[in-house]
């Protein structure tokens, strides 16, 4: 119930934030349709539906939904994937994006090969591989393979790190 | 005759066959791994298609969509976990067959039914799309705006259990789409002062975030919670249990025909998709069966019905894309992006301007069906065994790494990687709170076109917004959208009322 209220209020605030940004869009008298019109319309509808959702839930006397397993007799959304959601801590939810941002920083600092090796080792550890030898071999092998396929063969440009530059071909 | 020209165009680009084979195999594998989907595979491979010619690029992604729908049946049958939402109904009879030691038979009938349904749907597309395009070619901006509005409302209101959440998912996609420079005035809109957002959000990092990064997060949470795949060893000692006889195939033909028709009709409606088709077909098959009590205990018709239906969606979901420029599914929405990257305008005129390419794509679709059918029939059990052996704690780090490099490679931008990570969080919360990632993506793709059509209509109009009420076709599409919204709302209200009556009756 608390989680649902937080969800609906977040949506309303998101809509209001978008509405604020939309009203800041510069308008020009010469245009028939203002560039502000569509963004304001969409943001306004988000706020309205967010409030409506809050009211509907309040009127229906919402109970906390803990979705485990799901009802297989009801249609699921296309491409949704998983139906069951255990309730995790905030740390478990944000750890993957945080590691991703760390990857971006390491990429700038040390280049693609080293950053990929380090992050791969860390993510393997996160997901439960504890054998240090196995982690090291997989991390180095994966980074080298990805470097070879994406940077060398396909030719995707990867800038050298500002701190460390291995001077490898393919840049 | 046009499809023969399509095949000759395909043969004129022989490397396309290699990409069709890669697509067939990749789709099966991604579909078979629980949690991953064809959409995830497509999201990661889209940047690589920038280096391919248009036919190879489109064929690769189109065939991944087809084989991914089939691949989900492998996980459903072997692990009692739907590899994709569209194979959830296959579990009802597929897994009991595995428990009876008939996993091989179940996989074979799933393969045959998928090929049957997909071929049926592809023929509907081939013969239907160009016919419909003749009528839609004369539509102008007011008609297109009405079609986009209908699509937003239909997709938002039919997807998922909550209409409000479906519509909100659509609006989230729309508001993200308007970020960037205004196409007419050049002024910046909602860019938060970031020059990287002047060209707006790119589709590829959004897709990767919403479908792939969010899935990695979900799997991480599941692994930490101690959830494991339910695996039964596949028995090989009874050869009849793992064979599909011609008599059994004949027995399933009426079911497959009916389910293919259901899937094709549902596939043409934007937003409904395979997940709806498989359950409708399963329910209808059970209802018409002489032995409905056997459905759910492990019978081959119970596998054939949903598999034929969910694959029959694939071809017809391209009909609204090619005739109206409105994608009928997430995969079709991604294909719009690929068309645009290669400079091809989607809509009814595509049959005039790029006839060879379109029929080449249809030919590639038929070839892809044959390829994934062969791979699935002979190697499906092997793929299942391999997936059993690879632990998720090894698999998902690789998927995470691939997602990062794919997000980067679209525009050689680490900013895009950051976007993918942020939308990974967004995707996680959307899926956890039952919002629709598919509606989000489709709305993101359509909004620019909708705004352009709206502004062009008002420029053409002497009566302002009244122009939409002066055009009969525009009124018809707007009315259709409204009718679907009202119908769905009444259906939800009725269901809620029945639910209340049942609970008060039982108490």
**DSSP reduced 3-state for B288:** helix
B121 burial level (CB within 10 Å; 0-12, 13-18, 19+)? buried
User: What does the pLDDT average to over B140-169?
Assistant: 84
By C-alpha distance, the chain A residue nearest B191 is A21
**DSSP reduced 3-state for B181:** strand
| Average pLDDT for chain A | 79
Predicted confidence (pLDDT) at residue A79 exceeds the cutoff of 50: no
The answer for residues whose C-beta is within 8 angstroms of residue B493's C-beta and 6 or more apart is none
CA distance A129 to chain B (A): 7
**Percentage of residues of chain B with pLDDT beyond 90:** 27
Per-residue pLDDT at B244: 85
Residue B180's H or E segment, with its range, is strand B180-181
Angle at A140 between CA A136 and CA A144, to 5 degrees: 170
Confidence band for A76, pLDDT divided at 50, 70 and 90: very low
The answer for residues whose C-beta is within 8 angstroms of residue B286's C-beta and 6 or more apart is B292, B295, B302
The answer for residues whose C-beta is within 8 angstroms of residue B500's C-beta and 6 or more apart is none
Per-residue pLDDT at A74: 34
Per-residue pLDDT at B227: 67
- State both tokens at B246: 């011609």
Q: Inter-chain contact A124–B393, Cβ cutoff 8 Å? A: yes
Name the DSSP letter for residue B212.
Answer: I
Q: Inter-chain contact A33–B458, Cβ cutoff 8 Å? A: yes
Predicted confidence (pLDDT) at residue B64 exceeds the cutoff of 80: yes
Closest partner CB to A78 (pick from B48, B86, B167): B86
Q: Inter-chain contact B400–A96, Cβ cutoff 8 Å? A: yes
Confidence band for B45, pLDDT divided at 50, 70 and 90: confident
CA distance B361 to chain A (A): 23
| Average pLDDT for chain B | 85
Per-residue pLDDT at A125: 92
Confidence band for A81, pLDDT divided at 50, 70 and 90: very low
Q: Inter-chain contact A123–B171, Cβ cutoff 8 Å? A: no
Beta-carbon pairs below 8 A across chains A and B = 219
- Residues from chain B contacting residue A36 (CB–CB below 8 Å): 189
Contact B10, B357 (CB under 8 A): no
Predicted confidence (pLDDT) at residue B69 exceeds the cutoff of 50: yes
Per-residue pLDDT at A63: 55
- Burial code (b: 16+ CB inside 10 Å, e: under 16) for A78-111 equals bbbbbbebeebeeebbebbbebbeebbebbeebb
Predicted confidence (pLDDT) at residue B81 exceeds the cutoff of 90: no
Q: Inter-chain contact A101–B215, Cβ cutoff 8 Å? A: no
- Burial code (b: 16+ CB inside 10 Å, e: under 16) for B432-466 equals bbbbbbbbbbbbbbbbbbbbbbbbbbbeebeeeee
- Residues from chain A contacting residue B39 (CB–CB below 8 Å): 79
Confidence band for B333, pLDDT divided at 50, 70 and 90: confident
Q: Inter-chain contact A50–B190, Cβ cutoff 8 Å? A: no
- Residues from chain B contacting residue A120 (CB–CB below 8 Å): 397, 401
- Residues from chain A contacting residue B417 (CB–CB below 8 Å): 100, 103-104
By C-alpha distance, the chain A residue nearest B403 is A100
User: What does the pLDDT average to over B476-500?
Assistant: 81
Residue-level length of chain A: 171
By C-alpha distance, the chain B residue nearest A142 is B398
Per-residue pLDDT at B149: 87
Predicted confidence (pLDDT) at residue B108 exceeds the cutoff of 80: yes
Range of lowest pLDDT (B38-42, B103-107, B178-182, B199-203): B38-42
More confident residue, B134 or B107: B107
Contacts 24+ apart (CB under 8 A), B134-137: B134/B348, B136/B323, B136/B324, B136/B347, B136/B348, B137/B348, B137/B349, B137/B352
A162 burial level (CB within 10 Å; 0-12, 13-18, 19+)? exposed
Contact B138, B474 (CB under 8 A): no
User: What does the pLDDT average to over B147-163?
Assistant: 80
Spatial distance between the Cα atoms of B166 and A36, rounded to a whole number of angstroms? 25
**pLDDT tens-place string over residues B185-243:** 888 899 888 888 888 898 889 988 998 899 899 889 888 887 665 555 555 556 677 78
- State both tokens at B196: 């990287």
DSSP chain A: -HHHHHHHHHHHHHHHHHHHHHHTS---TT-SS-TTHHHHHHHHHHHHHHHHHHHHHHHHT------SS--TTSPPPTT----------HHHHHHHHHHHHHHHHHHHHH-HHHHHHHHHHHHHHHTT---HHHHHHHHHHHHHHHIIIIIIIS----PPPSS-----TT-
**pLDDT tens-place string over residues B247-263:** 999 999 999 999 999 99
Q: How many CB atoms lie within 10 A of CB A163?
A: 11
Q: End-to-end alpha-carbon separation of chain B, Å?
A: 65
- Residues from chain A contacting residue B404 (CB–CB below 8 Å): 100, 103
Confidence band for A104, pLDDT divided at 50, 70 and 90: very high
- Residues from chain B contacting residue A81 (CB–CB below 8 Å): 35-37, 40, 84-85, 211, 215, 218, 431
pTM, to two decimals: 0.81
**pLDDT tens-place string over residues B368-414:** 999 999 999 999 888 888 887 888 888 899 989 989 988 888 788 89
Predicted confidence (pLDDT) at residue A62 exceeds the cutoff of 60: no
- Residues from chain A contacting residue B454 (CB–CB below 8 Å): 33, 38
């Amino acid at each position: 119930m608390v989680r649902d209220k937080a969800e609906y209020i977040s949506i309303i605030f998101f809509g209001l934030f978008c509405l604020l940004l939309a009203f800041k869009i510069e308008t020009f008298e010469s245009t028939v349709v203002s560039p502000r019109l569509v963004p304001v319309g969409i943001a306004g509808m988000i706020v309205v539906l967010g409030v409506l959702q809050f009211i509907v839930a309040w009127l229906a006397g919402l109970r906390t939904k803990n979705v485990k397993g799901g009802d297989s007799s009801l249609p699921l959304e296309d491409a949704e994937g998983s139906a069951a959601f255990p309730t995790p801590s905030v740390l478990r939810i944000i750890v993957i994006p945080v590691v991703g941002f760390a990857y971006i920083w390491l990429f700038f600092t040390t280049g693609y090969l080293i950053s990929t090796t380090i992050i791969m080792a860390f993510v393997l550890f996160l997901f439960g591989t504890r054998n240090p030898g196995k982690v090291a071999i997989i991390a180095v092998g994966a980074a080298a393979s990805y470097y070879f396929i994406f940077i060398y063969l396909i030719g995707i440009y990867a800038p050298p790190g500002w701190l460390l530059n291995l001077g490898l071909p393919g840049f | 005759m046009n499809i023969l020209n399509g095949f000759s165009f395909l043969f004129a680009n022989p490397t396309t066959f290699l990409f069709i084979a890669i697509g067939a195999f990749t789709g099966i594998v991604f579909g078979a791994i629980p949690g991953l989907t064809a959409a995830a595979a497509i999201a990661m491979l889209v940047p690589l298609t920038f280096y391919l010619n248009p036919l190879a690029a489109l064929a690769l992604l189109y065939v991944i969509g087809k084989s991914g729908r089939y691949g989900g049946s492998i996980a459903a049958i072997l692990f009692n976990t739907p590899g994709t939402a569209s194979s959830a109904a296959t579990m009802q009879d597929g897994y009991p067959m595995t428990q009876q030691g008939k996993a091989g038979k179940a996989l074979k009938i799933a393969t045959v039914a998928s090929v049957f349904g997909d071929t049926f749907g592809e023929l509907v597309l081939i013969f239907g799309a160009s016919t419909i395009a003749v009528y839609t070619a004369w539509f102008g901006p007011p008609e297109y705006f009405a079609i986009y509005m209908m699509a937003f409302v239909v997709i938002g209101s039919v997807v998922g259990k909550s209409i409000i959440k479906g519509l909100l998912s659509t609006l989230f996609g729309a508001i993200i789409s308007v970020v960037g420079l205004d196409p007419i005035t050049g002024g910046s809109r909602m860019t938060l002062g970031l020059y990287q957002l002047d060209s707006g959000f790119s589709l590829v990092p959004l897709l990767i975030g919403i479908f792939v990064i969010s899935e990695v997060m979900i799997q991480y949470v599941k692994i930490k919670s101690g959830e494991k795949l339910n695996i039964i060893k596949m028995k090989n000692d009874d050869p009849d249990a793992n064979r599909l006889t011609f008599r059994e195939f004949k027995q399933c033909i009426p079911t497959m025909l009916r389910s293919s028709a259901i899937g094709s009709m549902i596939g043409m409606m934007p937003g409904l998709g395979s997940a709806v088709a498989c359950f409708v077909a399963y329910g209808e098959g059970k209802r018409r069966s002489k032995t409905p009590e056997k459905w759910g205990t492990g019978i081959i018709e119970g596998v054939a019905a949903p598999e034929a239906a969910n694959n029959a969606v694939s071809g017809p979901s391209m009909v609204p894309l090619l005739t109206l420029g409105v994608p009928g599914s997430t995969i079709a929405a991604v294909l719009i992006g690929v068309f645009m990257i290669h400079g091809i305008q989607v809509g009814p005129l595509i049959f005039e301007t790029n006839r060879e390419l379109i029929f080449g794509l249809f030919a590639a679709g038929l070839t892809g069906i044959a390829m994934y059918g062969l791979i699935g029939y002979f190697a499906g059990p092997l793929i299942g065994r391999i997936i059993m052996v690879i632990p998720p704690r090894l698999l998902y780090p690789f998927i995470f790494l691939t997602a990062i490099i794919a997000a980067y490679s679209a525009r050689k931008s680490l900013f895009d990687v950051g976007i993918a990570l942020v939308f990974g969080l967004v995707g996680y919360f959307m899926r956890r709170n039952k919002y629709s990632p598919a509606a989000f993506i489709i709305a993101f793709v359509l909004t620019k076109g909708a705004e352009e059509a709206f502004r062009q209509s008002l420029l053409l109009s002497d009566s302002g917004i009244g122009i939409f009420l002066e055009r009969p076709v525009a009124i018809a599409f707007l009315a259709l959208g409204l009718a679907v919204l009202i119908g769905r709302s009444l259906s939800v209200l009725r269901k809620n009322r029945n639910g209340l009556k049942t609970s008060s009756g039982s108490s």
